[in-house]
Each structure stands twice: as C-alpha cells, then as structure tokens.
Amino acid sequence: MNSVCINNQWILGDGEIFESINPLTNDVVWNKNSASQAQVEQAVAAAKSAQTAWALTSLDDRIAVMERFSELLKKNAEELALSISLETGKPDWEAATEVTAMLNKITISIRAQQQRAGTWRKDNLQLQHRPHGVMAVFGPYNFPAHLPNGHIIPALLAGNAVVFKPSEQTPLVAEKTVALWVESGLPAGVLNLVQGGKEVGSALSESDIDGLLFTGSSTVGKMLHRNMADRPEVLLALEMGGNNALIVDQGVALAAAVKIIVQSAYLSAGQRCTCSRRLIVVGKSHGEMLTKALANAIDKVIVAGHRAQPEPFMGPVINQPTAQALLQFESWLQTQGALIIRSMAPELNGSNLLKPGLIDVTAVDDITDDEWFGPLLQLQKVDSFEEALQQANNTRFGLAAGLISDNHQHQQIFCKLIKAGVISINQPTAGASSEMPFGGVGASGNHRPSAFYAADYCAWPQAQSHGADTHLHSQPLVRGIRQ
C-alpha cells in the first residue's frame, strides 16, 4: 500500500522518504514517501469535488457508512491496536482501549450531531446546520487513532469532506485507519490522506480549505493561528495541551490519593494532554508523608515494552530527542534548587523507557510555564488551599486540573475558580469522557472544545424563514406604499 490516498486510490508519494521508528526497539516500522505539495493540492481538490454530493447525502445514509466503519473496526481491532503499540510504544491493554474509544466515538458523535447540530422549526422559522466544506484534520502521535477520529467522524457526519494529515511519528496507524474507511464504502474523495512532516502540514494549512482541526503542541497551534490571521473565513479549532495542576488537600487518605496521582501523571508515559504536570500539596507535614508514599508507589510502576510480562503500566516516550529533552529539563531543575525524589533516568542509557519522575520544586523561584510531555511530575508544597488554588491558576494554559479533597467547600470553590476546561474531583486528570466537551482556555485552545462539542465546529447554523407553504401567494400590505 502506498502512502497517499486520494479519491480512494492509494498512490506513491512524490515527496521525500521518511520513517516511523518503534520507540521501544528503534526498529523501522514504516518507510515510505511523503506527499508533495502538488499531491496535497490534488487531495484538497478531490475533497472539494466530492463534498457537495456527500452533503446532499441523507444523514441516515452517512450514518450507515459510519456503522460499516464501526464493524470493520471491530474486525480489525487487534491489528490496529498492534500498530498503535508499535508506533507509540503503548502497552497492549492501552492500545486496545484506544480502539474501543474509536468505536464509542461513533455512537456518541451520531447523538451529538442530532442534539447539537440538528434541525428545529417553529411556525415559519427553521434552523438547520450546514457543513463548512473541506476540513483539514491534523492528528497527534499520542492518540494516533482516537484523536483524529474525534475530528473525522463529526466532520463527515456533518457533510464535510476531509483531508487528513497524521503525525509523521505515526503514519502506519493512519494508513490502516484510512484503509478501513475506504473499505467501508465512503465515497471517493470524501476522505483523503496525505503523509509527511512540517512541509506537508504547511502546504495543507495554506491550501484552499474551509476549516482546520488541530490537536498538538501550543507552539504549532500558535503558528497555525498566525498563519490563518488573514483568512477569517477558514474555521480553526485548536487543542493545544496544558501545564496541568493537581491539588492534594489536607486530610485525604494517602493510599487513595497516591493511586489518583500515579494515574494522573504517568499514564501513557505522561504523554496525554490531560496528564498532571504539577502536583500542589497543601500542608508541609502532610506533603512529606504524601511524598514518601508516592515515591514508594513509583518504585512499583512497571515500565516495559508492550508485550512484556508482567504487564507494564507504561511504555516508552515517543523518541530519543523527547527523552533527552525531558532528562535535560530534570537536570536543569536540579541546578535551580529542585530535589529529585525519583529520576526519570532509564535503566539502560539511550533507552526511551523513562521511569516515572518526581521532583520537588518548592525551593525553585522561577519555573518556565511549559508543557513537558512525559513522565515528569513537579511537586510543590504550600501552606493553604487558597495558595494551592492560586498556584494552580498560575499558568498561561488552562486545559485540565484536578483536586483531591474531602472538603466539600473546597471542592465548590475549586470548580468555580479554577481556570481549566476539563476538571476532576477525586478522579485522575489523565482522561476525559467523549460524552462531554473537551477543551481549555488560555494557551490551551481557541474556545472550540472538541469531543461532544465537535459537532459545533463541524457545521455552521443557518437561520431560515419560510412562507406559510411552498407556493408564492400575495403578500400583506406594506405601509407607505400605494397599491
């Protein structure tokens, strides 16, 4: 199978060869040509040609295609999960849950489309929702199947055509997913795939699209926002992660709190955009006890390859440059006065299997407000809940935040004052329900939440006024005009 899919035809890319590397073994998983700029333009043109007919297809018929795709997902779940593990290093159990999330997204998106982008009529007034046209979808590597799927499904349901540019780290997963769409009977041109890196992304963002749906880093999201500044007619939906805080209040059960913290900070090797990056603990003595219990729990976390036994909790980070950047940041924090409680340093030098890191930054005066995408948790001890909340909000981001507390008043204050789009009380932060909106404020997004609210940005509302029936009759008199 070739690397570019246009009009349901797989063709050889005209761009440079690039590789997908297994982050566990450093073996080559995928090696093919990227798309050229001309092929990106061909994919957009194919989508434009196919979109009108797709928009005129009834919603029931579009849903039927989704349901066929769902059946194919079920039949090919093991193969797709293996591809996810090979390209991301996720344990088998976690890769399988990602495929399950894709399946669930179909049913949820159908309901969201009907509830949030359906039709409404009263007397001579009617509301309906129209597709934008051609939507570009940029996928991330951390959930290479589920997160692009969260854009593609609602976009297709609304009647849009899609050009999909996956992460260059995970082209195999994208290839297998699009192949299932083709097999499902999706009309030619409705979904097109262009593989490649920054050049392909730039060509797609600058092409004649009607919307761009992006999940990824704040740096790239800001660049896209700047590039789109003179094109307000192009819808832009950005989800850009966060420097997420998890507050631990005084008086909580340590064992239960530790379980929540471990899941919040280290699931997916810390490579979930809702993972906790900052742990803010109220009370110095309480903080000491919690730190000791957390360090003991970290020592029991199994970090290994996806098929290792016993089953691992987490696998490697995505590549060696990421691993090195994380370790360098950990070392820099230490030079600034931070205390390393548990280092991320791998058992084997050069390995991407970083261990869960815990570092006390209470004594560090100035820490850069960045999203470090990996298994590093920065611990800060404060004297009061009010100070903890202030520190939690001391970030330019606003995606996720959590509170572990038995204090009902503190829970209420947290919900009202925390600046984050996805919050949790006595639950892990690393995860979010597709039944709810997903997005953040500040540098975490541009106020276009996804998940259940994806239907909102995949269609635009059209207000209609109709006569009493479909035939034109005489109109009522208008004052000031002679008859």
User: Would you please indicate which residues are annotated as catalytic (active-site) residues?
Assistant: 239, 273
CA angle 142, 148, 152 (to 5 degrees): 170
Helix axes 146-157, 171-183, angle to 10 degrees: 30
b/e 80-119 (16+ beta carbons within 10 angstroms → b) = bbbbbbbbbbbbbebbbbbbebbbebbebbbebbeebbee
CA distances to 33, 237, 295, 336, 474 from 448, in Å: 33, 6, 38, 37, 44
Q: Is the dihedral of CA 223, 325, 20, 33 positive or negative?
A: positive
What separation in angstroms does the CA of 155 have from each of 4, 57, 454?
20, 14, 8
The crossing angle, in degrees rounded to 10, of helices 77-88 and 59-75 is 70
Tokens 């009977």 label which residue? 185
User: Is 441:421 a contact under the CB 8 Å cutoff?
Assistant: yes
Report how far residue 234's alpha carbon sits from residue 360's, in angstroms, rounded to the nearest whole number: 44
